[in-house]
Structure 1
Amino acid sequence: MTIPKNIQDLIEHFEYNQDQYMQPNYNETQTRREFIDPFFMALGWDIMNEQRFAEAYKDVVHEDAIKVGGATKAPDYSFRIGGNRKFFVEAKKPSVKLLHDAEAAFQLRRYGWSAKLSLSILTNFAEFAVYDCRFKPNRLADKASKARILYMTFDEYATRWHEIADVFSRHAILKGGFDKFAKSNKSKRGTAEVDVAFLEEIEAWRMELARNIALRNPMLDEGMLNFAVQRTIDRIVFLRICEDRGIEDYGRLMALQNGNDVYERLMQLCRQADTRYNSGLFHFRHEPNRPDVSIDTVTLELVVDDSLLKKIFKNLYYPESPYEFSILPADILGQVYEQFLGKVIRLTKGHRAKVEEKPEVKKAGGVYYTPTYIVDYIVKQTVGKLVHDKSPTEIAHVKILDPACGSGTFLLQAYQFLLDWYLDYYISHEPEKWAKKKKPPIRETATTPSPSTIGRGESAPIPSSSSEWRGASSDSTLLVGEGQGVWSWQLTIHERKRILLNHMHGVDIDRQAVEVTKLSLLLKVLEGENEASLQPILVHERALPDLSDNIKCGNSLVGWDVMEVLGIRIQDSGVREDSDLSGFEKPDRSNEVRSLNPFDWHTEFSGIMQAGGFDVVMGNPPYVRQELFGNLKNYLKKNYQVYHGTADLYSYFIEKGITLLKNEGVFGVIVANKWLRANYGKSLRQWLKTKTIMKIIDFGDLPIFPQATTYPCILTVNNTDLSPDNMLVSQVDTLEFDNLQEYVQSNHYHVTRDNLRNGWSLAKNKSQDVLDKMQNIGMPLGEYVQDKIYRGILTGLNKAFVIDEATRAMLIAEDESSAEIIKPFLAGRDVKRYQPLQSKKYVILIPKGWTRKKSKNTRYAWQWFKKNYTAVASHLEPFAKKAKKRHDQGEYWWELRTCTYYEEFEKQKIIWPNLCDAPRFTYDDKNFYVCAPANILSAEKGLFILGILNSNIVGWFMKLIAAGRAGGFFEYKPIYVNKIPIRIINFDDPAEVAMHDRMAALAESMLDLHARLTVTQLPHEKTLLQRQIAATDKQIDMLVYRLYDLTDDEIKIVQAVQL
């Protein structure tokens, strides 16, 4: 790649005047203006925002840097695509020797790491260094070379320009060059991303604070202890972030390390914060128009050891701390807290604290944070659609809800979207007019990187009018002090508060989650503010809103009518069921009520519900299986149309969310996709067919949540009577995209409502036509074989009941009667398509009732068994303790569970595994027993069925109707296999009989060919057999197409799907 001429000119100019530029008095601001700005302009970046983009969408943000504690608190440049940061650039003057300057490298890496960026640049034009910011920075240990992955000097730019442009040019980033380079240079060794590190930090605080507070404050119960620890951590995080943003004086927490009574002095800071912020985070006294129930009466008088707090504060400041809180992204903080909330503090009998996972989290295998790009997509498809082409007046009524808000991820993103939307609107519609209102929604500020201004910790003074500063500079900038300032509009804090209070609402059953959501939203309100900008406001009002009417704690699914279902009566009929728990007749059940946390929507959000409901409901509801619901099943059955005995919790959130919408409202969630096809989703599917489904984005088995085996989809619904005939469907088959919205736009199709059958295949309409044709011609397999499709057996303790060949031989040698109860045994992984069954495993099969029937003496059953089956009894006896604890046992611990079809395993049958990437059916005539979750189908002379089941068309059919799993696998459970349409043969028609016999013969040939393939050792014979198998397979597929009367075009639809 040829270096641009202006860069070549810069190189020559710098080289010619190098002595001058290397002098200490040539400062950073001059370097940026004369060299670094044009350098990145040559890479395609709009450094001065000449395109006049709104603040949220600028290519480059010159951070509104302030100096706090002697250090600059933001990088010089933030380079962005679509408003999302890609990398930072930290600029130095040429006299700073970057090759060996560990301090400059640490500063850059601290910025990049705190913002969770993969790469960032340190440059003074004379030198150019790229750092991998995924390595946790350590000022005391790291040299300048640590995590540096690219270094060059200005005299190398001409020959190595492609190395820079291919990664850091705007065009390269849009084409994926930046991400590819970052991925290729990633090394897990030594990396520790900021969210993981900060989570470990605050989890350590929780553990130490819990132990210390429990020890020093024995009057606290478990609930109070959790509250005290959480509130203390939240306050420390809030105040520390405010310090790094310049809102609070830097070092106030650090100063608490000097002297004694640290906690008491911390609470003094909190009381001062109460007068400044009006946040529920600091609410210690009675105030008009604020509920007294939210006053904190727990934490004021706590006793906490000085040494513990001093250690916490010390690790929050330079040089011990690697965090730069001013640029820690809100979504990263949310991810940290989402994980943090998965655990709870418990008290032992000795009033000692321990931290453990919540039961629902343990059951789910952990906490899974919704990726930002998913949240962004749902927000734009709901809030974005609703406000499009409208004015602030027209959207004044819009109410947004997340009914399971967790740490506030969706609310935070929706709030940011509205902040950007309002700012963009004001800028596009005579901003000066808006700025002159009595309570202006926007104000004009100057961002200036000049050292002469950033040291003051405030924005530069604003000219009296926009025309004044425009006249001062033709390039929309104004000289401020030594440097150049860039003027821009931003929302006033009054307007940010108004938007939050007017639009955003959330509910969560977890009180700690509610507090974290409030914390995240309040920090978002303060973004872009500093001490100077807040000072005029604090004269008249507090800086932050009270969110107690917006973000509430309660069970979104359960109202106070649950009391009747649970049989808990209210003693005093004058006590409203939505008020408090004081009137319960049975106080011993108060814990049960507290756990349920009933919530009445019409009381808690009365104004909104009276107006018809919410305009947007969105989120990522919990996926808890119904076995955790306990005694709620009767309530759910009574109150929800989507009820099913084994449905996941999200099914009820879907119904509740849609019913909370007002007319024309929009619903958008990400949930597991199993409801589309699973039996428990039937009632939900039927209910949704009466609604206006707009989009279903199915991610199949893609790892949206990397640590979870949850296969999600995005569902959006409009609450309108004007129901379209079809909905948009996108089957996402890769995560290698830059923008989900653009991917869906390019990869979607429409499905008509009439094509939504019992199990929603989401097939394209033409595919659905083929599927319908098959089903019309054939009979469901379950019906065809008279429901003789069975699941494999469960022992509950394979270590005891499943034995190998050597153990079987030993048991039979010791006692011949052992052979009666030892059967050949297969696992699903042993079953291959058409292949002969081979296994060296056996199962000790003693069915429920067998002992009683054989011994006729239940009192001495074990003695009888031990006498008559000595060897097997001796083998099983060491496992007796574990066997007695298992669910899968019969009348006695040595028996297996009830099973009405054991005899079916002794017959000819078709066997297949539970998970398949393509049909994997084979035939068994050797009486194998099969381990669940593999399955069997009783079918003597079932070769005709076997040929159809292993055909290409059945693989295609199953991909449409079965639930997907990781790695391209699908569930071949009986619930899905039952539905495979089997062609009904008219045995009075010779032509059909011929097709039937031909299919059976071909299937038999496939069994024979595979059997021969497993024993032959000659390479040329293997090749010949494989060719014969392929040819026979093709003949079977063609015959199946004839059986189902497919046209050439229909065959192409089937063959287009790769198996």
Structure 2
Amino acid sequence: MPERKEQLTELVKRYQAFKEDGRLDLSSEETIRTWINEFLSIFDWDVMDTSQVLQEKVLSREEKERLEEIDSTSTRPDYTFKIGNQKLTFLDAKAVSVNIETSTSSAFQIKSYGWSISGSCTFLTNFEEFAIYDCTYIPSQEQPANLGRTYLKIEDYVDNFDVLETHLLKSNILNGTLEKLYSDTLKNVSSVQKLSPDLVFAEELSKFRLSLAKNIVENNSDLISNNAELLAYLTQVIINRIIFIRICEARRIERDGLLLTFLETDFWSEFKNSSYNDFFEHYDGPLFDRISDIQELEVDNEIIKELLDKLYYPSPYRFEVIPTKLLSDIYEIFLSKKLIIEDGEVSEKLKLEYIKTNGAISTPQYLVQDLLKRTIIKESLLERGLESISETKILDFACGSGIFLIETFDYLQEIFIDYYKENPSEAFSDFFFQNSDLTTLTISGKRHLISNCIFGVDIDPEAVEVARMSLSLKVVDSSEFYENYQEIGIYGNQILNNVGNNIKCGNTLVSNDITVKYPLIISDEPQLYRTNSFDYNSENGFSEIFDTKCGFDYIVGNPPYVEVKNYNVEYPFMHQYIKDEYVTTKNGKIDLAVAFVERAFSILNDNGKLGLIVQRRFFKTDYGKKIREYISSRNLLSQVIEFENSNIFPNRITYIATLILDKARPENISFLKIDSDLEEIPSTLRSIQPFENDDTQFSIIPSSGLNQNPWNFEDADLLAIKTSLLENHGKFGDFAKVKVGIQVLWDRAYHIKVTSINDDGTLTGNTHLEEGITIEIDACRPLMVNEKFYPFCNDETSTYVIFPYDTSLDENTPIPFSEFNERFRLAGQYLTRHRDEIASNVATCDGEENWHQFTRVQNHKAVYSKVLLPMTANDTYATVTQNPLNYCDNANMFFIDIPEKSENNLFAVSGIVNSTLFSVLARSIALSQQNGYFKFNKQFIEPIPFPRENFNTNTALVNEISTIAISIKQTQEQYRSSSPRQKTILKNLLNAYWSNLDNKVYELYELTNDQISFFNERGRNINRIEILDRL
């Protein structure tokens, strides 16, 4: 830092000296840029390296006049800071004559550029002034120049060096420092909206689509004929074409303002004729197919003007710089709604798969880029040469708006160019354009890559159209070479020919045999269309790939996280097909991502790899058992990267991971956990090489250590010990069963918080519906809940539940309401008072005698001694209840049903659950929650290793564990009612008991000394004595 500050001091002095001596040509843009270039170099930027900074060419007078001749008003920032193909921020150079301090137009311009790429801030300078603009809110030309701005004059630079360094240092711009810095700015300024361009533009497109669709139906009712899918298709095509041409204007491919000139006469007539003739001849491809229905449409020009007003100045959208990825994000959000026609009226609603999440959220670019570089290893492709690279087949089987497709194109393009620069080939020379500075693909080269290598499938026809447009935009995206458009082929004919034909509309999960297996679907036309079955190996699919390569080389994507049960009503045949056809979907509640994983392996070739972004819930949940078994039994898992941050997808709490699965059946799994702050994750991932290039940051886990039981990759040593213990002893679930509590009709009515137990056989307490009720104790049962629970706590509770059943070990007999009311008059009167409220909130049993009973009966006959186990805790906790009437709350308290329910066995099992060993093993596979808590559900407890044979045969050791457990329980009761001096003594005693208990459990498990040291080092989350002081 001192060196940089000295460099800045010297530069400022030199500039001021030049100015005083009259040696500066302040009218020359090149002169100003020379000083700016040196200024930026202080902060580690090499402005001559186009991989770091793209400089807008300084135009000569003749070039400026030539732009004016074609009515181009296009201006771009002078400096674009980037990494790869991703724009990070901008700096614009102004003449000294521009007063940056007061210029609202200059502020609006540079803020619009930054906002349009979702940047954090941008910069404006004429070297004598330097301004930093917050770009996290929607810019407007009415905003004052100083809104969200840091402003410095040249004489302030050195004193404010820290501000300049924080904003301009290359490492800060690359590592997310600015994103973090500007994440909470201007939140209290009511005049601004802190909204990103994807959300804003998606909402505006949605409004326009609805207006356009209504106008189309109004003017073309016979053509549309209540066909919502046709309406959606035509509407989407029109929007896509308008947006595409506007972007081509901004990128100097079409005349600037071309669409506005159509408004001067008859927009719709001009536009559809241009689409049919000029645009078709220039672009061709699926985007500008000659669609007869479009030619027949009548659309009012006023409707189109609504959209055009959003696409031109003073709109804040700068299409010169908006990345294709951002446009895909916009469409991803926009397409979460669908058009419907009811009684001739057009409206829109969320698509089924987005109802639960209230809309779509696009995948962050850095996640896609990282997954690609780890799934498709660059060095491996470079070894094969251009011809082999050209034959690589890459599929996104749920491609949506094309986010993975366009990033795949960028990735392959970089590899293609890198190889050609080192190994120029005459055979491929038509695919490349080179000048002294840069090498890029020509239009032919881009078409070649897209047509040969990139494939996509999506069930949504509108998404398919957008994905095709996204790839089309990639073909024409060469704006840094605009002076070489002729050589690149931008001005040629049919430049999009065949681009997008590899994107198919179909259902990856459902093949055409659905009509054979469920022939009733044929007569249900809406179902048939919605299911949209698709055969990959068919004439309408990708049969050539299966004929030549037996499947795809790579599949990448982010399959939808949608529970299959959501399709019961709208897609019943599809729902049944998926449940029947995929072995991984047999375990109750599952999401579609699981079926997509299984499907991938039928369309990959024998050397194929699958790279996915998934929610990692299936690693541990019960519904993931089948997919875990499917993957582990075939040794398919190659790499896992888990992300600790749960806010990677905006406004969603998701626990995600990237998976790479490989049909080569790797013997080991590489694992990495990313726990960086959200803003730092992109730079963290960029700094980590693919495992194949550098394995030093990854943990290595043997594939043999995984099976259908819950997965935990974080601790390879623990996994090895756990695997060994399972082989030696078996699972806890082989010895005992973890069971849930009773499920009452409605908690708010049936749960009673007891304030007193009365001498007359009644209790008094409060429910959510009524306070101060008094009812018969025998009409209720004590309910064990997870409140102030700790190891070996007493089994007393202040919560009771109304229980209209007579139970025993053998029978559970519902009590008819008339009998219940007669036996328990107070309880019956209470329920009667609230009968209507109960019925309006929950489904009840039919009939006058049954309405008060539970709709689901579970574990009512568990009237025996049991071990209690809270579901959510920092560690595994357990205690014993020997009151047969005690039931567990279904929501948060489990119980352990052991075969021999002697007091000895109950306390011994409770002691094992409370041990350090058991907690370490359980935490390793349990679902982690916030603030250090875990969910210890049945599926996380029953797979834990347990020495059943030793427990059943080593009576003496089990008795010792039980005796220690009882001693701890008794001593804890003393501790809680002792003086400080007594507590000190008892604490020492408890420490000895707990240490002894842990050692006896280690002995029961037959651990080695090294294994004992391992568990002691891991320890429990919460000290078992200190927890008593927190109650």
Q: TM-score range by the shorter chain?
A: 0.7 to 0.9
The Cα offsets for residues 754-792 of structure 1, whole Å up to 9 and x where unpaired, read as 22233133365532342244435656333433x3x3212
Do the aligned partners of 2:725 and 2:945 also contact (CA within 8 Å) in 1?
A: yes
The Cα offsets for residues 225-255 of structure 1, whole Å up to 9 and x where unpaired, read as 2223222222222122112111121112233
Do the aligned partners of 1:278 and 1:544 also contact (CA within 8 Å) in 2?
A: yes
* Aligned twin of 1:255: 261
Do the aligned partners of 1:817 and 1:868 also contact (CA within 8 Å) in 2?
A: yes
SS at match of 2:508: coil
Do the aligned partners of 1:511 and 1:553 also contact (CA within 8 Å) in 2?
A: yes
741, 751, 755: which one aligns with 1:802: 751
Do the aligned partners of 2:742 and 2:859 also contact (CA within 8 Å) in 1?
A: no
877, 886, 896: which one aligns with 1:920: 877
1:114-133 equivalences under 5 Å are: 114-133=116-135
Task: After TM superposition, give the deviation of residue 704 of structure 1 in Å.
Answer: 3.5
Question: Given the superposition, is the C-alpha separation of residues 710 and 1027 from structure 1 closer, same or farther in structure 2, using an over 3 Å criterion?
Answer: farther
* Aligned twin of 1:441: 431
Question: Given the superposition, is the C-alpha separation of residues 913 and 866 from structure 1 closer, same or farther in structure 2, using an over 3 Å criterion?
Answer: closer
* Aligned twin of 1:479: none
* Aligned twin of 2:1029: none
Do the aligned partners of 1:755 and 1:765 also contact (CA within 8 Å) in 2?
A: no
Code of the residue aligned with 1:564 in structure 2: it is V
Do the aligned partners of 2:584 and 2:630 also contact (CA within 8 Å) in 1?
A: yes
1:52-63 equivalences under 5 Å are: 57-62=51-56
Question: Given the superposition, is the C-alpha separation of residues 764 and 135 from structure 1 closer, same or farther in structure 2, using an over 3 Å criterion?
Answer: closer
Greater alpha carbon shift after TM alignment, 525-534 vs 552-561:
525-534
Task: After TM superposition, give the deviation of residue 748 of structure 1 in Å.
Answer: 1.9
Task: Return the alpha-carbon distance in structure 1 between the equivalents of residues 467 and 771 of structure 2.
Answer: 68
* Aligned twin of 2:731: 780
- 1:767 corresponds to 2:769: no
- 1:361 corresponds to 2:361: no
Do the aligned partners of 1:267 and 1:300 also contact (CA within 8 Å) in 2?
A: yes
* Aligned twin of 1:384: 377
* Aligned twin of 2:137: 135
* Aligned twin of 1:977: 941
1:16-27 equivalences under 5 Å are: 16-18=17-19, 26-27=27-28
1:78-477 equivalences under 5 Å are: 78-139=80-141, 141-148=142-149, 150-173=150-173, 177-179=177-179, 181-183=181-183, 187=187, 190=192, 191-219=194-222, 220=224, 221-258=227-264, 261-271=266-276, 272-284=278-290, 296-319=291-314, 321-349=315-343, 351-364=344-357, 366-385=359-378, 386-430=380-424, 440-444=430-434
Question: Given the superposition, is the C-alpha separation of residues 1033 and 176 from structure 1 closer, same or farther in structure 2, using an over 3 Å criterion?
Answer: farther
Do the aligned partners of 2:336 and 2:354 also contact (CA within 8 Å) in 1?
A: yes
Question: Given the superposition, is the C-alpha separation of residues 200 and 1032 from structure 1 closer, same or farther in structure 2, using an over 3 Å criterion?
Answer: farther
524, 544, 549: which one aligns with 1:607: 544
* Aligned twin of 1:909: 866
Question: Given the superposition, is the C-alpha separation of residues 314 and 21 from structure 1 closer, same or farther in structure 2, using an over 3 Å criterion?
Answer: farther
1:852-867 equivalences under 5 Å are: none
* Aligned twin of 2:918: 954
- 1:521 corresponds to 2:516: no
494, 501, 508: which one aligns with 1:542: 494
Question: Given the superposition, is the C-alpha separation of residues 871 and 641 from structure 1 closer, same or farther in structure 2, using an over 3 Å criterion?
Answer: closer
Task: Return the alpha-carbon distance in structure 1 between the equivalents of residues 527 and 490 of structure 2.
Answer: 44
874, 880, 890: which one aligns with 2:832: 874
Do the aligned partners of 2:54 and 2:80 also contact (CA within 8 Å) in 1?
A: yes
Question: Given the superposition, is the C-alpha separation of residues 892 and 241 from structure 1 closer, same or farther in structure 2, using an over 3 Å criterion?
Answer: farther
Question: Given the superposition, is the C-alpha separation of residues 166 and 987 from structure 1 closer, same or farther in structure 2, using an over 3 Å criterion?
Answer: closer
Task: After TM superposition, give the deviation of residue 213 of structure 1 in Å.
Answer: 3.1
* Aligned twin of 1:565: 517
Task: Return the alpha-carbon distance in structure 1 between the equivalents of residues 806 and 89 of structure 2.
Answer: 66
Backbone CA RMSD of aligned residues: 3.7
Code of the residue aligned with 2:91 in structure 1: it is V
Do the aligned partners of 1:3 and 1:158 also contact (CA within 8 Å) in 2?
A: no
Q: TM-score, normalised by structure 2?
A: 0.85
- 1:1036 corresponds to 2:997: yes
Code of the residue aligned with 2:1014 in structure 1: it is I
Task: After TM superposition, give the deviation of residue 750 of structure 1 in Å.
Answer: 1.4
Do the aligned partners of 1:796 and 1:887 also contact (CA within 8 Å) in 2?
A: no
Question: Given the superposition, is the C-alpha separation of residues 183 and 855 from structure 1 closer, same or farther in structure 2, using an over 3 Å criterion?
Answer: closer
* Aligned twin of 1:635: 577
Greater alpha carbon shift after TM alignment, 180-189 vs 743-752:
180-189
- 1:589 corresponds to 2:532: no
Question: Given the superposition, is the C-alpha separation of residues 902 and 849 from structure 1 closer, same or farther in structure 2, using an over 3 Å criterion?
Answer: closer
Code of the residue aligned with 1:268 in structure 2: it is N
* Aligned twin of 1:575: none
* Aligned twin of 2:701: 751
Question: Given the superposition, is the C-alpha separation of residues 595 and 180 from structure 1 closer, same or farther in structure 2, using an over 3 Å criterion?
Answer: closer
Do the aligned partners of 1:534 and 1:543 also contact (CA within 8 Å) in 2?
A: no
Task: After TM superposition, give the deviation of residue 518 of structure 1 in Å.
Answer: 0.7
* Aligned twin of 2:670: 728
1:929-944 equivalences under 5 Å are: 929-934=887-892, 935-938=894-897, 941=903, 942-944=906-908
Code of the residue aligned with 2:321 in structure 1: it is I
Question: Given the superposition, is the C-alpha separation of residues 86 and 204 from structure 1 closer, same or farther in structure 2, using an over 3 Å criterion?
Answer: same
- 1:1008 corresponds to 2:973: yes
- 1:739 corresponds to 2:684: yes
* Aligned twin of 1:680: 623
Task: After TM superposition, give the deviation of residue 742 of structure 1 in Å.
Answer: 4.0
Question: Given the superposition, is the C-alpha separation of residues 301 and 928 from structure 1 closer, same or farther in structure 2, using an over 3 Å criterion?
Answer: farther
SS at match of 1:103: helix
* Aligned twin of 2:1025: none
SS at match of 1:697: strand
Code of the residue aligned with 1:936 in structure 2: it is F
Task: After TM superposition, give the deviation of residue 686 of structure 1 in Å.
Answer: 3.2
Do the aligned partners of 1:848 and 1:897 also contact (CA within 8 Å) in 2?
A: no
Do the aligned partners of 1:701 and 1:966 also contact (CA within 8 Å) in 2?
A: no
The Cα offsets for residues 964-1000 of structure 1, whole Å up to 9 and x where unpaired, read as 4455543311122123344455687685255324432
Task: After TM superposition, give the deviation of residue 683 of structure 1 in Å.
Answer: 3.2
Task: After TM superposition, give the deviation of residue 922 of structure 1 in Å.
Answer: 3.7
Do the aligned partners of 1:135 and 1:147 also contact (CA within 8 Å) in 2?
A: no
Do the aligned partners of 1:695 and 1:729 also contact (CA within 8 Å) in 2?
A: yes
SS at match of 2:14: helix
Greater alpha carbon shift after TM alignment, 66-75 vs 869-878:
66-75
Code of the residue aligned with 1:711 in structure 2: it is Y
Greater alpha carbon shift after TM alignment, 210-219 vs 612-621:
210-219
Task: After TM superposition, give the deviation of residue 558 of structure 1 in Å.
Answer: 1.4
- 1:492 corresponds to 2:442: yes
* Aligned twin of 1:618: 556
* Aligned twin of 1:556: 508
Do the aligned partners of 2:18 and 2:24 also contact (CA within 8 Å) in 1?
A: no
Question: Given the superposition, is the C-alpha separation of residues 40 and 880 from structure 1 closer, same or farther in structure 2, using an over 3 Å criterion?
Answer: closer
Percent of aligned pairs sharing the same letter: 25
Task: Return the alpha-carbon distance in structure 2 between the equivalents of residues 341 and 236 of structure 1.
Answer: 17
SS at match of 1:727: strand
Question: Given the superposition, is the C-alpha separation of residues 943 and 600 from structure 1 closer, same or farther in structure 2, using an over 3 Å criterion?
Answer: same
The Cα offsets for residues 346-380 of structure 1, whole Å up to 9 and x where unpaired, read as 2222x112211112211355423222222112111
Runs of 5+ unmatched residues, structure 2: 756-762, 1022-1031
Q: TM-score, normalised by structure 1?
A: 0.83
Question: Given the superposition, is the C-alpha separation of residues 90 and 739 from structure 1 closer, same or farther in structure 2, using an over 3 Å criterion?
Answer: same
Do the aligned partners of 2:968 and 2:990 also contact (CA within 8 Å) in 1?
A: no
Task: Return the alpha-carbon distance in structure 1 between the equivalents of residues 676 and 17 of structure 2.
Answer: 51
